Amino acid sequence: MKKKVLIAFAIIAVLGFILGIFFKISGIDGNGIILGIAILFLIVSIFLKYKKDI
């Protein structure tokens, strides 16, 4: 259980970072990386709410 959560957070961090780089390139926001992680964290928290067996 804890290992799955750690892996999930690692994936969120990496995807958030990649998303943030894309935001920075397209000039959406100066804090693109923070925004990217926040969006992904929101998506995953909603997903975990509906799929509790993860």
Q: What is the pLDDT along the chain (54 residues), one digit of tens a residue?
A: 688 877 877 777 787 777 777 777 766 655 666 776 777 788 878 777 777 654
**According to the model, what pLDDT value does residue 27 have?**
67
In angstroms, the CA 31 to CA 29 distance is: 5
**According to the model, what pLDDT value does residue 31 have?**
65
**According to the model, what pLDDT value does residue 32 have?**
63
pTM to 2 decimal places:
0.45
**According to the model, what pLDDT value does residue 33 have?**
65
For the residues of the chain, what is the DSSP string, one character each? -HHHHHHHHHHHHHHHHHHHHHHHHHTS-TTHHHHHHHHHHHHHHHHHHH-TT-
